[in-house]
Amino acid sequence: MVARRSSRAPILPYRRAELSTPGHDLKMLRKAAGTSADMVLMDLEDGCAPSQKVPARGVVVEAAKTLDWGGKVLAFRPNGLRTPYFFDDLTEVVGQAGEFLDVIVLPKVEGPEDVRYVDRLLEHLEWKHDLDPGRLRLEVLIETAQGVLNAGAIARSSPRLVALLFGIYDYAGEVGATVGSDTFTDFTFAKQSALAAARAAGLLALDGITARFKDLELTRTESESSRRMGFDGKWAIHPSQVDVIQRVFTPSQEELDRAVRRVTAYRHADREGRGAIVVGEEMVDEATLRTEMRRVALGRRLGLLSPET
């Protein structure tokens, strides 16, 4: 058995790829632990065989306690709040493996009251099982029509929240959409709702899956579109997608160099009493630098830039 993790270990302040792995399959969970994903999500919901819903809880507990997860954020996804499984999923898995878990991913969240209910349950479970108060963090899926409409209130509903995740297939199923080749046109409103809600509350935002997982070129182009839209990362459903996604959401050295150059030029101009400046063919001011400043901050967190840069 691996050493017990400190219950105060800080969880990563970024998420590029989150890998979803069926909770009933220990072999796949072992494989997931060996990937480079920032977070692995052991799934009791839609990725878990319906016939295995109850025994899968024990598999998730065993995996959490015995596998070496490296520096990854470790999460599990219980079944939805409106299913007969939810309560036992939460109490059994947290009760038996709470000190090994970082995040609980809530599916099909409809409104802030769903999150507040789980927040209170976790408060009790943390008391009962002697876990640090607030140690268990939440990421929630925005994947219903209500969820999209309530995204702003959901994002502000609990201090445990770390990220909002957009779930494309459930959302498509609910509104009657087909997931086709351009999800960035067809689902703009829903994606942007999740993204703006997350940002307004200071949370991370992750885009949904590319179900045609064998097509790594598609995974890459969809990741690039998500990143361009503003997302911090994306879900993976297969280990082969993880590296592709991680790479897209990691700022390249070229991007970091360019950002540092432009930010430095702007600061220098400011010291000389100038505001907007021209770098190359482009006007650069405070607003045009904001995304680059975010990338520089991420580059620092990832150790790609020295803290003084």
Residues that bind ligand COA (CB under 6 A): 19-22, 27-28, 31-32, 43, 46-47, 209, 237-239
Task: State the residue number with the nearest CB to ligand COA.
Answer: 47
Provide the minimum distance between the beta carbon of 31 and ligand COA in the complex, in angstroms, as a whole number. 4
Shortest Cβ 262–ligand COA spacing (Å): 38
In the complex with Mg ion, the residue whose CB is nearer, 64 or 141, is: 141
Which residue is listed with tokens 């909002």?
Answer: 164
Cβ at position 211, least distance to ligand COA in Å = 8
DSSP letters, 168-196, are HHHHHHHHT----S-HHHHTHHHHHHHHH
**Hey, which residues between 110 and 149 contact Mg ion (CB under 5 A)?**
143
Residue nearest to Mg ion (CB): 170
Q: Between residue 142 and residue 161, which ones bind Mg ion under the rule CB under 5 A?
A: 143
Q: Which of 81, 72, 98 is nearest to 45 (CA)?
A: 81
Give the contacts of 281 (CB within 8 A, at least 6 positions apart).
none
Helix count and strand count (H, E) for the chain: 13, 10
Q: Give the one entry of Mg ion, ligand COA, none that residue 170 binds, where binding means its C-beta sits below a cut-off of 5 to 8 angstroms depending on kind.
A: Mg ion
Q: How many whole angstroms separate alpha carbon 246 and alpha carbon 224?
A: 11
Residue selected from 78, 80, 167, 208 as contacting Mg ion according to rule CB under 5 A? 167
Whether 48 contacts 107, CB under 8 Å = no
Which residues share a beta bridge with 206?
165, 233
* Residue 174 contact partner, candidates ligand COA, Mg ion, none, CB within 5 to 8 A by sort of partner: none
Cβ 253 to ligand COA shortest distance, Å = 30
Q: Which is nearer to ligand COA, 131 or 172 (CB)?
A: 172
* Shortest Å, Cβ 301 to ligand COA: 25
**8 Å CB contact between 201 and 162:** no
Contact 302, 250 (CB under 8 A): yes
End-to-end Cα distance, the chain: 41
CA distance 89 to 81: 10
- Find the shortest distance in angstroms from Cβ 119 to ligand COA: 24
| Residue 98 near Mg ion by CB under 5 A | no
Considering the rule CB under 5 A, would residue 207 count as an interface residue with Mg ion?
A: no
Binding site for Mg ion (CB under 5 A): 143, 167, 170
